[in-house]
Structure 1
Amino acid sequence: MNTPQTEYLLAGGGTSINALPKISLHDHLDGGLRPQTIVELADGIGLDLPETDAIALGAWFAEQSNSGSLVEYLKTFDVTTAVMQTTEGLERVAREFVQDLAADGVIYGEIRWAPEQHLSRGLTLDQTVEAVQDGIEAGIDDVRASGRQIKIGQLVTAMRHANRGLEIAELAVRHRNLGVVGFDIAGAEFGFPARNHLAAFDFLAKEFLPVTVHAGEADGIESIRGALFDGRALRLGHGIRIAEDIVIEREDDENTYVTLGPVAQWIRDREIALETSPSSNLQTGAIAAWGDELVDHPFDLLYQLGFRVTVNTDNRLMSDTSLSRELALLSDAFGYDLGDFEAFQLNAAASTFLALEEREELADIISAGFEEV
């Protein structure tokens, strides 16, 4: 059964944000577990937890994640990945993940996760991908049985601090017609540039498998440049530090006059999607150069300048959030309305790693859903 979903309403109109059709591009499988599931899976494998009550455990994750450091933030994943080392654990987590996305109004989601982190109990890389896909398909069946529809694609991820990039890229290509739609690298960004995985990116380019790269979260413009040049990234995971390549010349009461640097210009003009995750960006200190509140986030600047911004959760457990909540927070901070929300979802639809016809179908579903409000 799905966990209860908090209802978020658009200020002024009372419109349910949860009910709006949405697309999730940046959502980590090991960052979206239900606390009760962690408790039950941990009990089954004899794993000690910092808290054994589901509510207390959820609070622990949120507290630990508010460190202001990506490195510290990532340590919470030691707990979640520990209960995702068996076929049963992976299937259950993936199935509930899909259920929870659908309950929040998501009609298409790309779930990213790193198979190399799920091998400690004897599973092979291929077995982990198969287990997750089985869970995804079971979740889709559950959603369909409830009268709704959802599509899901896997983004197979390599850990950027490890040396298995090519092996994981080959894994992704083996499963490209079995649920996998793209490739990602994740983990500690600073000190681990995309070029470390150049062999993987060369292979993926030859195989025409789409790539997104975590960049512009814990490192700046050079990391983003590497994601574009070495990684051939079609999207940027977070990418918000591209704002460092934007110079504000002057502002008046109605306008902001800026100059874009070459990397920012390329990203905007080529419509390379930015997979922003507002709450997570606060927690990890990704926006520290601009402030420590959501209103300081460069999201609105990027949106107003015409960048292809998308809204995501990153890790729903760690940030105690949902896609509806992220939209509500942005609306509160910047005064966004339904038209803005629709623009964000259409940006996401255009940036999925699906075929053109499927992207157009998603856009039609989004527009129709917003027209019904």
Structure 2
Amino acid sequence: MSDKQPIPFLDLKAQQRRIAADLRRRLDTVLEHCQFVLGPEVGELEAALAKFCGARYCVAVSSGTDALQIAMMAEGIGRGDAVFLPAFTYTATAEVPLLLGATPVFVDVDPRSFQIDPAHLAQRIEQVRGAGTLRPQAIIGVDLFGQAADWPALLEIARRDELFLLDDLAQSFGASLGGRMLGSQADATATSFFPSKPLGAYGDGGALFTEDESRAELYRSLRTHGEGKTRYEVLRTGVNGRLDSIQAAVLLAKLAVFPEELEARERIAGAYDRRLGNAVLTPQRVPDSTSAWAIYSILLPDEGARDRTQAALRADGVPSAIYYPRPLHRQPAYSAAHDGTALPVSEDLAGRILALPIHPDLTDDDVERVCAAVLGTVA
């Protein structure tokens, strides 16, 4: 075991020190006005987030999962509907369709960018349509690990097949594609502000983006128990999906330094690429895009090599993580919903992928230490 100081996988304390003055000012303001739910900070945050990503409307909600659920509730997605989504992602993406009575249909991903494979998506839509037991209703594209999905291809498929297109931007707020920030590429976009995200709150939080005014109005109603123009006018079944003012205050303080943090993440990712690119498979960049680098994952030759590398990193005080050790179609919760279609890329990635530390407060020495530890096991 190394006697070196462990490198933090995520360093929220260092970030907090950098924003301490503005953070304290904003939190004190909330404590003064005592409007703890949907207070003025929430409206300020919605305007700032919409401006940042170039979306027309932003509706802040209580979590990224609630954002996904509200978006699908607004479209009436439910029993008998098929929702197409990648097999290699976090559980929330598949969980929400099942909660609404719909069926998640798992799609394989690209072996190098890890994003949903549009060609396989088209095949899966035709497969489900041909079977005739489910109605193809929606596509959820996930911007995995900080990078953008292939939104032009996904939009073409969605329009051709008349499907609702939802962007799960939970890991990639701050990324861009074709010179545009993510947030307006799909019919609706859902993001998360879980503390580990590039832009994270100090608890749960999320947001929805849309270019459609009627959708935005519906999202605001659904997040507040389906209420109408007054609190006790209930127009529809909704959820308790409101954002707390304190979380909005935290996010506003963080948003002020977010562009510099994205630059730092890109600099660190570039350093990893240069040092590790000849020894392991590093993430393939999505063309004509920028990444938020929520997660930087390398690919090892096999599961045994990954286990050896992870053990060596741990011994040197370098943390790592596996996103994800099992694809969704292999999870017990989704086995009954899966139609048995083979998804070999997702299964292969689950046995080889390993995430390295990446956050704005990693020093050059930290990065070199991470690289040296990895190279020591694969050279």
Which structure: greater helix fraction?
A: 1
> Which structure has the greater CA radius of gyration?
2
TM norm. shorter chain > 0.5: no
Scaled by the length of structure 1, what TM-score is found?
A: 0.28
Scaled by the length of structure 2, what TM-score is found?
A: 0.28
